[in-house]
Structure 1
Amino acid sequence: MPVETQSCFPVADAAAFLLGTWEAERTLMDNAGSRHGSFTGTTTFTPDDAGRLSWFETGTVFWPDFRGPAFREYLLEAGPVPSNLRVLFPDKRPFHDLDLSTGSCTAEHWCSPDAYRIRFTVRTPDIIEYSWDVQGPAKDQLLTTVLRRRSFPALPHEL
């Protein structure tokens, strides 16, 4: 992955920072098949009953031969310090750690037979960029996402 050259926004409390609704724009590059696409939608981070954050994304994916609905979801649980979260698949298997203390982090995940290299960068209090570089026998993909904050969650007295 390229060395970070743009500024980063350090985050002391990752869960509190992520809460709310974000607009999501993603470029999809399938280098193995020389195809490019995109995704536009909404990403929400909301507390669940177990003290985790639910990360839910919904929107529309555009491929050269397909346009249709898409979604994905993860769970975020507290890490050893407030700036750190553990990203889990919905069935609670670990995906990767997310440490936003410096505003940028990298992680790797092995999903046989593919390797995921992940980079998160918080650009401002309202913009996050992240990418997944996926390499394997049948995959050569780069998925790059920009999240722009749409809203913070309502405070209890506003409900």
Structure 2
Amino acid sequence: MSTERCLADFIGAWDITRKIVPAHGPSAEFAGQGVWTPTTTGAEYAETGVLTMPGATPMTAERRYVWGQDLSVHFDDGRFFHRVPAFGGTATHFCDPDTYDVEYDFEGWPTFTVSYAVHGPRKDYVMRSTYCRAQ
């Protein structure tokens, strides 16, 4: 079993590799960096990198979230997304009409993975991200 994680464990810069596999069509890959920056109420998470897909010009991709001390994750507009299980495990987010099932695996800490299975009438893909502490 994993050690219990707290917000302080994530603070700092992490290198990210990600593979996105749709139910139909070509896969995409992302390589970049995510940074958790402490705030008075938790942390801001900012991610930037390059997304590559077969037959397309590589493009810059970015995302931002706000994390609470309790490992709650919110979109940057304040809407709740999900809570990270402190020991690793699963969480679900329903974004009508699609469902996001997420799994956090902290067994190889300080490397960890986050996998999403997204299903619904608008989305159908699996995304697996590996985070390694940046040097």
Q: TM-score normalized by structure 2?
A: 0.92
Do the aligned partners of 1:43 and 1:55 also contact (CA within 8 Å) in 2?
yes
- Aligned residue pair count: 134
**Partners in 2 of 1:112 and 1:75 — Cα distance?**
21
Q: Which amino acid aligns with 1:11?
A: E
**Partners in 2 of 1:43 and 1:61 — Cα distance?**
14
Give the CA deviation at 1:140: 1.2
Q: Which residue of 1 aligns with 2:68?
A: 77
Deviating above 4 A after TM superposition, structure 1's stretches of 4 or more consecutive aligned residues are none
Q: Which residue of 2 aligns with 1:114?
A: 98
Give the CA deviation at 1:150: 1.3
Q: Deviations over 1:56-87 (max 9, x none)?
A: 110000112331100101000122xxxxx100
Aligned to 1:10, which of 3, 28, 31?
A: 3
RMSD: 1.3
Q: Which residue of 2 aligns with 1:154?
A: none
What are the ranges of 5 or more consecutive residues in structure 2 without an aligned counterpart? Answer: none
Give the CA deviation at 1:51: 2.0
What are the ranges of 5 or more consecutive residues in structure 1 without an aligned counterpart? Answer: 1-7, 80-84, 152-159
| Counterpart mapping for 1:49-68 below 5 A | 50-66=40-56, 67-68=58-59
Give the CA deviation at 1:52: 1.7
Q: Deviations over 1:22-81 (max 9, x none)?
A: 0000001011x3220100000111112x422111110000112331100101000122xx
Alignment of 1:20 onto 2:12: yes
SS at match of 1:35: coil
Alignment of 1:150 onto 2:134: yes
Alignment of 1:45 onto 2:40: no
Q: Which amino acid aligns with 2:95?
A: C
**Partners in 1 of 2:63 and 2:84 — Cα distance?**
18
Q: Deviations over 1:66-110 (max 9, x none)?
A: 31100101000122xxxxx1000001110001122x2x1200000
Residue 52 to residue 134, structure 1, CA distance change in 2 (3 Å): same
**Partners in 1 of 2:78 and 2:42 — Cα distance?**
11
**Partners in 2 of 1:113 and 1:138 — Cα distance?**
8
Q: Which amino acid aligns with 1:90?
A: D
Q: Which residue of 2 aligns with 1:155?
A: none
